[in-house]
Amino acid sequence: MTNNDVLRRLRYTFNFNDQKVIAIFAAGEVTVARDQISNWLKKEDDPSYVNCPDSTFAAFLNGFINERRGKKDGAPAKTEKRLNNNIILTKLKIAFNLKAEDIIDMLALVGFRLSKPELSAFSRKADHKNYRECKDQVLRNFLQAVDKKFHVQRRAKVQKNNNNVDEKQDKLAETLANKNYKSAKANASKIYHNPNKTPAAAKKTERKVLKLKPKDIWGE
């Protein structure tokens, strides 16, 4: 894996924008421009693609550690002139404050098995008899495990999900309102009958008219 690959994956996992990437480099005592970052993140077959130098990416990793763990007092961390997968893995382990057991468990989540002695061998000095080179497969799976554990969801996606929930709630409220309105409209046309009213009282009061014949008034 290249430095560009690791930078690209970390940027994706934590949803870093260009300004944040620049700030992390600055935390590692290196100043970079936005066009440099843009070229580092391009695909390798892109004419504008540029390899990120080891010393520059080492500064980024040191800045990443400072961002996550806080900058320690004293002299800044050493910026290596040459990087390899072992150093990158070690720096990321420090940044995430991971123990050997944590890394092994994280790798297991992505279907990659690694023993504790094998992991310890990656942290040995190159001249140690138990030193082992960290292959691309190990680092690639570790970065995948980091993404699975620490992935930061993009704001646009979160907002979209929230909008979908709001839209569903609005539709449900509208459906219920229409249902209640139709029910009320249908019931409004019915005549209300008081169940407590007696049958005599329930009948409509009729006006009685007294009908008299002329002979009843004048006599025969």
The whole-number average pLDDT for the span 51-78 is: 91
Question: What's the rounded Cα separation, in Å, for the pair 142 and 146?
Answer: 6
- Sorting pLDDT into bands at 50, 70 and 90, what band is 192? very low
Assigned domain for 33 exists: yes
Pull the structure tokens for residue 42: 């391009």
| Tokens describing residue 121 | 């061998």
Range of the domain at 105: 3-149
pLDDT band at 8 (very low <50, low <70, confident <90, very high): very high
Residue type, 99: K
The count of other CB atoms within 10 Å of the CB of residue 73 is: 4
Confidence at residue 72, expressed as pLDDT on a 0 to 100 scale: 80
In a domain, 206, yes or no: no
Give a yes or no: residue 174 inside a domain: no
| pLDDT (tens digit per residue) in 116-159 | 999 999 999 999 999 999 999 999 999 999 999 999 987 654 45
pLDDT at 3 over 90: yes
**In sequence order, which residues have a C-beta less than 8 Å from that of residue 200 and are 6 or more positions away?**
none
Tokens 């520059």 identify what position? 56
Q: One-letter amino acid identity for 140?
A: R
Average pLDDT over residues 174-189: 57
184 band by pLDDT with thresholds 50, 70 and 90: low
Identify the pLDDT of residue 26.
96
- Residues 6 or more apart in contact with residue 213 via CB below 8 angstroms: none
* Residue 144: both structure tokens together: 């995948």
pLDDT at 22: 97
Whether 182 is in a domain gets the answer no
Give the model confidence (pLDDT) of 65-115 as tens digits: 999 998 887 777 789 999 999 999 999 999 999 999 999 999 999 999 999
Q: What is the mean pLDDT of residues 11-30?
A: 96
Does 73 fall in a domain?
Answer: yes
Position 29 in a domain: yes
- Report which residue type is found at 195: P
pLDDT of 169 higher than 80:
no
Q: Which residue has the higher pLDDT, 94 or 207?
A: 94
In a domain, 193, yes or no: no
pLDDT for 153: 81
Q: What's residue 76's pLDDT?
A: 75
107 belongs to a structural domain: yes
Residue ranges with strand state E in 16-92 = none
Angle between helices 54-69 and 85-95 (to 10 degrees): 20
Which has the higher per-residue pLDDT, 207 or 30?
30
**Residue 211's Cα: distance from chain center in Å?**
90
Residue 146: CB atoms within 10 Å: 21
Ramachandran quadrant class, 191 (left: phi over 0; alpha: psi -120 to 50; beta: rest): beta
Q: State how many domains the chain has.
A: 1
